[in-house]
Chains A and B, each alone.
Chain A
Amino acid sequence: MRLLPPNAHMTGGEILLAGEALHRKSERAMREIRGAKIAMIFQDPMTALNPVLSVGEQIAEVLRVHRGYSRSDAWQKAIEALRLVDIPDAAKRAHDYPHHFSGGMRQRVLIAMALACEPDVLIADEPTTALDVTIQAQILALMQEMQARLGMALLIITHDLGVVAQICDEVLVMYGGAIVEYGRAEKIFSQPAMPYTHALLASLPRIDGNVHELLATIDGQPPRLSELPSGCVFAPRCPQRFARCAQRPPLFDVGESHLSRCWLAAASDGQ
């Protein structure tokens, strides 16, 4: 999104959207992409919405800026967008302010706003973390339905492995600022290659797990990004570490487009 704070900048690499290099775009060009081609929804819908504008005005604004709609057309489209995300009484609720809505309804408003311009990519950063579990189920179902209807790509950022299992096709596991594993969701959950992923899955209390045993744990703490170990970032907590882990491993291919940043995977790497 190119929304990093001023004290952070990209020091290398590329970000491509449909082949176009986003990292080379001017701020003005980015403004046309944000909201139109890539949209984002956040963990806390209250702070992501403007408290002094009605939700209808906020959605209409996106449509006027990106689609050049007139005021009245944009308002009509905003109501449609609210209807699409199942907000009851959309024409009336469009006049309401964010604080009139519950957490789940606010997240629906945010989704309506993000989807108003039918973006190619929707980034959802912990979209259900602040919600209760029955409301989470509603929002996840809504996101899946919208994705099927609009055919957009969805990048969902979450710490909840249950949410990942429910809606993702592919999974990137991050640890200490790096991608440590990548693959199809079924593979990641059934045959995790990286010891971190393995340990994380084992430490989850499960609704059908064995309650007579203690949970598996990962020793120690996640590293601070300012004091990353020089070798493998997970090595200090890894039960399987060995001499080679003092060097930073690359991502190894363990087959079927499944990648693992672990020296244990070096042997199975095809290259």
Chain B
Amino acid sequence: MGNEMRTTTPLLELREVTKQFVRSGLPVRALEGVSFSIYPGETLGLVGESGSGKTTIARTILRLTEPSTGHIFFAGRDITHLSQRALRPLRREMQLIFQDPYASLNPRMTVEAILAEPLIVHGIASRSARRERIAELLDLVGLAPEHARRYPHEFSGGQRQRIGIARALSVHPRLLIADEPVSALDVSIQAQVLNLLRTLQEKLGLTLLFIAHDLAVVRHISTRVAVMYLGALCEVAARDTLYGRPLHPYTQALLSAIPYPDPVRERGRRRIILSGDIPSRVAPPSGCRFHTRCPLAFARCASEEPALRSYADHQVACHWVQEHDGQPAPLLPG
């Protein structure tokens, strides 16, 4: 992937986006100079642990949260300072799928009303065309026409997530942002929803930002993957590059922490176990934010924040990797 796509304009681009909140009088640095692009037709997986800023990124892209500094471009246009009114037509082009299919559907509306709402708000279809579009959407996400009359509580978690997906697709968005869309679902239902998202993405040529903490899930759906730690990007690369030859020590530790569902493989496995906790965002560590837990940290890591640099097909923010000309951090057992 990658190179031939780079010649086109990204559908979405974040440039040096920083977000600072104030919580109980203390500044919280939620995002620190985050830059990345998503190209048309690709799925960017955004991975990180809790507090890494994944959801803040989603909210910032949709301008539900205003960035403190930096710029957001959609289809080449700077949307950072657009008025709410000017944003409205753009909201139609960027749709969000939520983590919790229980909380994101109005319990007092039928599925039909839930799916009709965005069509009415955006003035898309006449009454008769709406009915047709709703039937089409239900079919697209694997629900039956008779489901239109039912209420959210009559559905299981997996089915509710299908309704959430249908609602997001109803206005023909160009960018779909899915924030932990399967983490609230049973294992046996996760696979159904993941397959659905992948099939829809291929069928409709969607561009997808897929946010999750589960690296195995992200690998299954993404063409490119970005890893975040405490509000900053550590590493961005094409899927097979990132999983096959991770460079950043945090990416390596994250991959090494995942247990394989295979006891024979698990028995002989050596893990990188990071010491310590994820630091607080109120007082993030100086320099590289990962240095307090990094087994490779040296003096420079505590004083200087590493920039995201390009090494062949990788982007990495790590002093060790930089001083070793793009060699992978030597944490993973060979």
Contact = CB atoms under 8 A, between A and B. Distances in A.
Given A105-B277, A214-B198, A165 B260 contact: yes
Contact of B188 (A138, A190, A218): A218
A137 interface: yes
A160 B263 contact: no
A102 B261 contact: no
A135 interface: yes
Given A211-B220, A217-B192, A221-B156, A204 B277 contact: no
Interface stretch (A38-46, A195-203, A250-258, A262-270): A195-203
Given A165-B259, A217-B188, A137 B266 contact: no
B273 A138 contact: yes
A216 B254 contact: no
Nearest to A140: B259
Contact of A207 (B156, B219, B263, B293): B219
Interface residues of A, number: 43
Contacts of A137: 256-257, 271, 273-274
B257 A133 contact: yes
Contacts of B158: 221
A206 interface: yes
B325 interface: no
B243 interface: yes
A201 B114 CA distance: 35
Contacts of B220: 205, 209, 211, 215
Given A168-B263, A207-B243, A138 B189 contact: no
- Please indicate which of the listed interface residues B239, B254, B262 has the most CB atoms of chain A within 10 Å of its own CB: B262
A138 B274 contact: yes
Contacts of B261: 161-162, 164-165, 189, 201, 204, 206
B120 interface: no
A222 B258 CA distance: 26
Contacts of B50: 132
Given A165-B266, A221-B156, A134 B239 contact: no
B143 to A, nearest CB: 13
A218 B193 CA distance: 11
B190 A203 contact: yes
Contacts of B194: 205, 215
Contacts of B144: none
A92 to B, nearest CB: 16
A166 B265 CA distance: 9
Chain B interface main SS type: helix
Interface in B47-84: 49-50
A166 B277 contact: no
A159 interface: yes
Q: How large is the interface on B (under 10, 10 to 19, 20 to 34, 35 or more residues)?
A: 35 or more
B312 interface: no
A161 to B, nearest CB: 4
A222 to B, nearest CB: 6
Contacts of A163: 259
Contacts of B189: 221
Given A165-B261, A189-B261, A221-B189, A102 B216 contact: no
Given A165-B261, A203-B188, A211 B239 contact: yes
A161 B260 CA distance: 8
A118 B192 CA distance: 43
A136 interface: yes
B186 interface: yes
Interface string B259-293: 11111111000010111011000000000000001
B195 A162 contact: no
A215 B191 contact: yes
A16 B199 CA distance: 50
Nearest to B189: A221
Contacts of A204: 187, 191, 216, 261
Nearest to A209: B220
A186 interface: yes
A21 to B, nearest CB: 33
Interface string A34-71: 00000000000000000000000000000000000000
The 6 closest A-B pairs by CB, nearest first: A162-B259, A132-B49, A203-B191, A215-B191, A137-B257, A205-B220
21 contacts: A102-B278, A133-B49, A133-B214, A133-B215, A134-B49, A134-B293, A137-B257, A164-B261, A165-B259, A165-B261, A186-B263, A190-B264, A205-B219, A205-B220, A206-B261, A207-B258, A211-B219, A211-B220, A217-B195, A222-B186, A222-B188
Interface of B: 49-50, 156, 158, 186-192, 194-195, 198-199, 213-217, 219-220, 239, 243, 253-266, 271, 273-275, 277-278, 293
Interface of A: 102, 104-105, 132-138, 140-141, 159-166, 168, 185-186, 189-190, 199-201, 203-209, 211, 214-218, 221-222
